[in-house]
């Protein structure tokens, strides 16, 4: 009898320890997801490919196992087309527990497509973005077990066609705006390249200022979860565009979540074995807990969005401009032009868009310009320095080609300058010889033309101005006019 009991006890113990050994940690589950999504079998998950479909079906299967329900009546698949080619998002939901707040939503998204094969090499896309897709799956499992704590509903989205133009997220943003309304979506978070926490040393959340007290809420939860986070008020660079874009352009609060650019993203070396799974586990746990916070009615959008996300039809935009370049003086009667000198301009600008493609621009600038000034005894070989400080206000008609993120622009109009001072500068021998033919006109007018392009909130352009009328006043004075060429950098708030 004792032998039977001992054998039974040993069997129970063996089964217990075998079960414990089989129990999978979350980091191991994350590793399994990434290793599959970034495997040679899926060949880089190029958007629209059979392998991308396999990745999507894998995510849908995991959503189903986690207990998510389809958000759309037709199931987990949200089909859409781009230029006649079919793509498909994976969209599921955990319904909120509050009878009223369940009609408000927090959206979590991660794109599953990547670059596919190029030149015979597979681009696995382990960090970009198998890591985000893996985190999305595990967050769904965590929150499914905490569904009673979720007052708002949480939508989980695996996005297709991100790498070729953010198409999947843009399509879902429009679909949700049409079905539940923009005001019902309280926050959207995109998980994109979150697999290098150890190498980066931080988790970056861009867009904290789109949430009321966003920085405080993010950092309080980070301190509780013992994770190092870095908040950025807004997404500023167009070169790091992610799936928040389509939501942010509708005025929805967004957080772009990433561990940064430490991985060999967009290279064949972005493989599953290089991902930091302990760090990915830490990120997954933190975003899960922050989503619970986001489902509380205390979290509200601030109403602020990044300049790069302002709708292109926004009628007014204020900015600052800095210009450096050259100035010279043209003597019209003799067809004589002086050598160029240094010109500087700084001030504020204001743009008024009356239409997608047309508008007006004005500004207020303090400027300083210098140029050579000929000596009457020897016009071509001797010169002094002329300097002028002025306050300038331009008014231009503007044409825009492109959207608000990246566009080419051109302007043509007039300017008014009020000269604060003007005359020969320095104490050199040439300055002693130089004689101005008349007093400087305080009020100066001319034409202005510019061309350039914008990148998000930044503008880069070239501005040329030509004075009309005469720089000098008096009788029997030569006709002289100032000309300016300025390379300008601007930032729009």
In the block, which residue shows the tokens 């001319």?
446
Q: Is the pLDDT of residue 456 over 70?
A: no
How do strand 458-468 and strand 378-402 relate by DSSP bridges?
unpaired
The model's pLDDT over 247-305, given as tens digits with 9 standing for 90+, comes to: 999 999 999 999 999 999 999 999 999 999 999 999 999 999 999 999 999 999 999 88
pLDDT tens per residue across span 144-195: 999 999 999 999 999 999 999 999 999 999 999 999 999 999 999 999 999 9
Residue 17 has pLDDT above 50, yes or no: no
> Do residues 139 and 68 touch, judged by C-beta distance below 8 A?
no
Q: Find all residues with CB under 8 Å of 209, minimum gap 6, and list them.
A: 215, 233, 234, 302, 304
Percent of the chain with pLDDT over 70: 91
Angle of the 50-66 helix axis to the 26-37 helix axis, nearest 10: 160
- Give every CB contact of residue 17 below 8 A, 6+ residues apart in sequence: none
Structure tokens belonging to residue 236: 């500023």
DSSP 36-56: HHTSGGGTT-BTTSHHHHHHH
Backbone angles phi, psi at 16, to 5 degrees: -65, -50
Q: What is the pLDDT of residue 360?
A: 93
Structure tokens at 15: 């089964």
Domains of the chain: 23-308 (3.40.630.10), 316-492 (2.40.160.20)
User: Which of 212-221, 285-294, 445-454, 472-481 shows the lowest per-residue confidence on average (mean pLDDT)?
Assistant: 472-481
Which letter, b or e, does each residue of 32-56 get, where b requires 16 or more Cβ atoms within 10 Å of its Cβ?
A: ebbbbbbbeebbbbbbbbebbbbbb
pLDDT at 331: 86
Task: Give the distance from CA 250 to its chain's centroid.
Answer: 14
pLDDT in the model for residue 13: 45
Res. 379: pLDDT tops 80: no
First to last CA, the chain: 84
- In this predicted structure, what is the pLDDT of residue 404? 54
Is the distance from CB of 262 to CB of 131 less than 8 angstroms?
no
SS3 for 119-135 is CCEEECCHHHHHHHHHH
Check: CB of residue 72 under 8 Å from CB of residue 35.
no
Q: What integer best gives the mean pLDDT of the chain?
A: 90
Single pTM value for the model? 0.68
**Residue 70 clears pLDDT 60, i.e. is over it:** yes
Q: pLDDT-derived band of residue 365, with 50, 70 and 90 as boundaries?
A: very high
* C-beta of residue 280 within 8 angstroms of C-beta of residue 203: no
Residues 418-431: pLDDT tens digits? 999 998 888 777 77
Tell me what pLDDT residue 355 has: 73
pLDDT band, residue 94 (cuts 50/70/90): very high
Please tell me the predicted confidence (pLDDT) of residue 406: 63
**Span 110-153, pLDDT tens digits:** 999 999 999 999 999 999 999 999 999 999 999 999 999 999 99
């Amino acid at each position: 009898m004792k032998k039977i009991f001992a054998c039974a006890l040993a069997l129970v113990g063996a089964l217990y320890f075998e079960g414990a050994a089989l129990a999978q940690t979350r980091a191991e589950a994350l590793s399994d997801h990434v290793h599959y999504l970034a495997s040679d079998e899926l060949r880089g998950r190029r958007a629209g490919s059979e392998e991308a479909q396999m990745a999507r079906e894998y995510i849908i299967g995991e959503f189903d196992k986690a207990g998510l329900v389809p958000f759309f009546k037709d199931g987990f698949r949200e089909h859409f087309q781009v230029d006649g080619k079919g793509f498909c998002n994976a969209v599921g939901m955990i319904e909120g527990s509050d009878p009223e707040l369940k009609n408000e939503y927090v959206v979590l998204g991660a794109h599953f497509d990547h670059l596919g094969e190029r030149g015979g090499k597979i681009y696995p896309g382990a960090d970009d973005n198998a890591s985000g897709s893996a985190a999305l799956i595990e967050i769904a499992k965590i929150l499914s077990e905490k569904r009673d704590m979720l007052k708002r509903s949480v939508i989980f989205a695996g996005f297709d066609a991100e790498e070729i133009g953010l198409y999947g997220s843009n399509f879902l943003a429009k679909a949700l705006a049409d079905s539940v309304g923009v005001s019902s979506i309280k926050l959207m978070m995109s998980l994109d390249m979150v697999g290098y926490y150890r190498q980066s040393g931080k988790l970056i959340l861009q867009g904290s200022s789109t949430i009321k007290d966003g920085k405080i809420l993010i950092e309080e939860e980070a301190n509780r979860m013992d994770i190092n986070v870095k908040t950025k008020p807004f997404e500023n660079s167009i070169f790091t565009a992610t799936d928040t874009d389509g939501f942010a352009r509708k005025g929805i609060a967004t957080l772009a979540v990433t561990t940064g650019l430490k991985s060999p993203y967009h290279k064949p070396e972005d493989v599953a074995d290089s991902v930091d799974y302990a760090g990915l586990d830490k990120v997954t746990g933190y975003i899960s807990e922050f989503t619970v916070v986001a489902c509380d009615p205390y979290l509200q959008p601030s109403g602020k969005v990044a300049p790069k996300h302002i709708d292109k039809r926004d009628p007014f935009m204020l900015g600052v401009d800095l210009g450096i370049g050259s100035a010279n003086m043209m003597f019209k009667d003799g067809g004589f032009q002086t050598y160029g000198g240094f010109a500087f301009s700084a001030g504020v600008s204001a743009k008024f868009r009356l239409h997608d493609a047309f508008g007006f621009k004005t500004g207020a600038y303090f400027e300083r310009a210098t140029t050579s000034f000929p000596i009457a005894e020897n016009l071509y070989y001797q010169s002094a320095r002329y300097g002028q400080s002025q306050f300038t206000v331009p008014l231009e008609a503007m044409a825009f080609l492109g959207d608000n993120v990246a566009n080419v622009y051109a302007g043509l109009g007039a300017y008014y300058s009020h000269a604060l001072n003007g005359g020969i500068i320095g104490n050199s021998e040439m300055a002693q010889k130089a004689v101005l033919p008349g007093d400087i006109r305080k009020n100066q007018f001319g034409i202005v033309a510019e061309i350039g392009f914008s990148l998000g909130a930044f503008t880069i352009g070239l501005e040329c101005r030509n004075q009309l009328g005469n720089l000098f006043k008096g009788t029997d004075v030569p006709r002289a006019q100032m000309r300016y060429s300025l390379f300008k950098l601007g930032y729009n708030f």
